Amino acid sequence: MKRLLFFALLILCSCQSNKKENVNSNTTSVSKPIPPPEPYIVDIQANDVKLGTPAYGDWLFSHKEKGQSFEQFYKSKHIIPTSEENIIYLQPIGEFNVAQTKQIELVRQYLQIFFQLETRTSKGISNDIIPNHARRIGDMEQEQFLAGYILRDVLKKEKPEKGIALMAITEKDLYPKPEWSYVFGLASYSDKIAVSSIYRMQKEADFNLALDRFLKICSHEIGHMFGLHHCIEANCVMNGTNSMFETDKHSIRLCSLCQRKLNSGLKYDNLKRLKELEKYFKENKLNEGLALMEKDIQTLKIK
């Protein structure tokens, strides 16, 4: 459990340390009147599941977050797509087996639907790009890479065509600093870059459970890049997490409030996104996600 708590304080603690956004050509801050929620948002709100009282070990038990209202999000500086920057990139680093390669492609497909933005996988990079001083052997004799090195010395140098967000994916385990055991991922939201490891998501998990975890982690981290803070209103993929056990409990669905925020910035068709998510979950036999999408569809009375 101690190691799990260490992890949490990275992956979603990285959310805490890098909230300040750079002001650039596709960063927006507005003072115009707050628009009312669309009927779609009002209707699906009935399917939000309110969070219970945090238990010992849960993220909200030890992190007294205040949340983020729609008004706070709307008035904040956050990244929005432009004709010059509108593509999400995944950057594999390492040698992936057949199952891992398939999961990366399924993550790419999912992110393209989730954010309704083109998502590409860049050509893989060899592990040789990581120097010895940014490697170590972990407490289970596994090789680990220094997550911060990947952000600072690999990803920040990358300038993919029309890139709005860049996430590296490693098959090796990660650690954030010498005194920490490991971390699932790390992000710099102001630089719109992140790194996640597939290594621990497969521990004691079949293909679909590992994929479900990967979808949650990647959509959560990139959601932060688009200005979403941790959700404290409902069971939501934007909930903070202190362990893989807590991640598994969290919904893969964005709650209505977080959907309203994301849509206000990305301006996609809510119904198109919902139907595409339903199809994705069905085709990939991800039954929990499918049930959530079907419930929203039934609520909306969509044929």
The pLDDT of residue 14 = 40
Q: Rounded distance, CA 94 to CA 198, Å? A: 11
Token pair listed for 107: 């993550």
Q: Look at residues 244, 266, 106, 242 and name the one whose alpha carbon lies nearest to residue 254.
A: 266
- The contacts found for 61-67 with CB under 8 angstroms, 24 or more apart, are 61/242, 62/242, 63/240, 65/229, 65/230, 65/232, 65/240, 66/232, 67/229, 67/230, 67/231, 67/232, 67/233
The pLDDT of residue 55 = 87
Domains of the chain, residue spans: 2-300
* Residues 229 and 169: beta-carbon distance below 8 Å: no
Q: What is the mean pLDDT of residues 115-143?
A: 96
Mutual angle of helices 270-283 and 98-115, in 10-degree steps: 160
The pLDDT of residue 29 = 55
Q: Rounded distance, CA 75 to CA 30, Å? A: 5
- The per-residue pLDDT of the chain, averaged, comes to 89
Is residue 9 scored above 50 in pLDDT?
no
The pLDDT of residue 27 = 64
The pLDDT of residue 13 = 40
Q: Rounded distance, CA 4 to CA 7, Å? A: 5
Handedness of CA 209, 229, 3, 58 (dihedral sign): negative
Q: What is the DSSP letter of 172?
A: S
The pLDDT of residue 42 = 97
The pLDDT of residue 28 = 60
Is residue 18 scored above 80 in pLDDT?
no
Q: Which one has a higher pLDDT value, 234 or 190?
A: 234
Handedness of CA 14, 17, 18, 21 (dihedral sign): positive
Q: How far is CA 133 from CA 127, 145, 198, in A?
A: 13, 9, 22
Q: Which one has a higher pLDDT value, 40 or 64?
A: 40
Instruction: Tell me which of 11-25, 32-46, 228-242 is least confident.
Output: 11-25
What percent of the chain is modeled with pLDDT above 90? 75
What percent of the chain is modeled with pLDDT above 70? 89
* Residues 195 and 185: beta-carbon distance below 8 Å: yes
CATH 3.40.50.720 fits 2-300, yes or no: no
Show Cβ contacts of residue 123 under 8 Å, excluding neighbours closer than 6 positions. Answer: none
CA 35 to chain centroid, in Å, comes to 26
Note if the pTM is more than 0.85. yes
Is residue 133 scored above 50 in pLDDT?
yes
Q: What is the mean pLDDT of residues 44-60?
A: 92
Is residue 64 scored above 90 in pLDDT?
no
Catalytic residues: 221
Q: Look at residues 81, 148, 69, 153 and name the one whose alpha carbon lies nearest to residue 115.
A: 81
Is residue 208 scored above 60 in pLDDT?
yes
pLDDT band at 226 (very low <50, low <70, confident <90, very high): very high
The pLDDT tens digits of the residues spanning 87-112 come to: 999 999 999 999 999 999 999 999 99
Q: What is the DSSP letter of 154?
A: I
The pLDDT of residue 26 = 66
